C-alpha cells in the first residue's frame, strides 16, 4: 500500500472517530448559548423597571419603540433558549437567538465597540458563531427534532 493510501486510511479513521463527537458538541453548544441568554432574560424579567429604563436610555434598538424592544428582547432571551435546550425547532430558535444577539450588539454598540470592551464583544461573536453552527448543522442526535425525524414525523426538520 502506498504512503498516500495509508494517509487516506488514517484520515478516514480519524474522521470516523471525530464524527462521534458531533452530537455531544452540538448539545454543548445548545446548552452553553442557551444558558447565556437565559441568564440575561431572567435578569430582565427580574427587574422590569430597570429593564425598561435601560431600553429607554441605554440601548438604542432600531425600528422598535423602547418598551416593545424590552418585551421582544426578554421574550427572545427566555423563550428561544427554552426551545434550543431540548432541541425543539432548533434551527428557527438558533436563528432567532442569532438575531437577538445581533440586535444586542447593534443596540449597545456605543459600549461594545468602544476601546476596553473587546472581551464583551468577543462573547457576542462567540455566541454568534455557536448559533451559526447550530443553524448550519442542526441540533444533533440528542434532540427532540432528531426524535421527530427518527419517528417519521417532520422530515423537513433535518
Q: Is residue 52 part of a domain?
A: yes
Q: Is residue 3 part of a domain?
A: no
Q: Is residue 16 part of a domain?
A: no
pLDDT of 148 strictly over 90: no
Q: Is residue 116 part of a domain?
A: yes
Q: Is residue 96 part of a domain?
A: yes
pLDDT of 152 strictly over 70: no
| Cα angle, residue 103 at apex, residues 98 and 109 outer, rounded to 5° | 125
Q: Is residue 11 part of a domain?
A: no
User: Could you tell me if 36 and 76 are in contact, meaning their C-beta atoms sit under 8 angstroms apart?
Assistant: no
| pTM exceeds 0.85 for this model | yes
Report pLDDT digits (tens) over 3-50: 999 999 999 999 999 999 999 999 999 999 999 999 999 999 999 999
pLDDT reported for residue 53 = 97
State the residue range of the domain holding 66: 22-157
pLDDT reported for residue 158 = 43
pLDDT of 74 strictly over 60: yes
Question: What residue has cell string 423602547?
Answer: 66
| Cα angle, residue 148 at apex, residues 27 and 133 outer, rounded to 5° | 35
Number of domains the chain contains? 1
Task: Please choose, from the candidates 68, 74, 84, 82, the residue with its C-alpha nearest in 3D space to the C-alpha of residue 40.
Answer: 74
Amino acid at each position: 500500500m502506498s504512503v498516500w493510501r495509508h494517509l487516506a486510511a488514517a484520515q478516514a479513521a480519524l474522521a470516523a472517530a471525530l464524527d462521534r463527537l458531533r452530537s455531544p458538541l452540538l448539545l454543548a453548544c445548545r446548552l452553553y448559548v442557551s444558558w447565556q441568554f437565559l441568564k440575561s432574560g431572567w435578569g430582565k424579567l427580574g427587574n422590569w423597571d430597570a429593564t425598561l429604563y435601560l431600553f429607554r436610555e441605554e440601548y438604542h434598538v432600531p425600528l422598535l419603540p423602547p418598551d416593545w424592544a424590552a418585551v421582544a428582547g426578554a421574550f427572545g432571551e427566555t423563550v428561544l433558549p427554552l426551545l434550543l435546550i431540548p432541541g425543539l425547532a432548533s434551527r428557527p430558535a438558533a436563528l432567532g437567538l442569532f438575531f437577538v444577539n445581533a440586535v444586542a450588539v447593534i443596540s449597545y454598540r456605543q459600549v461594545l465597540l468602544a476601546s476596553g470592551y473587546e472581551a464583551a464583544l468577543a462573547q457576542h461573536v462567540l455566541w454568534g458563531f455557536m448559533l451559526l453552527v447550530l443553524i448550519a448543522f442542526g441540533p444533533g442526535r440528542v434532540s427532540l427534532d432528531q426524535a421527530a425525524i427518527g419517528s417519521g414525523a417532520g422530515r423537513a426538520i433535518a
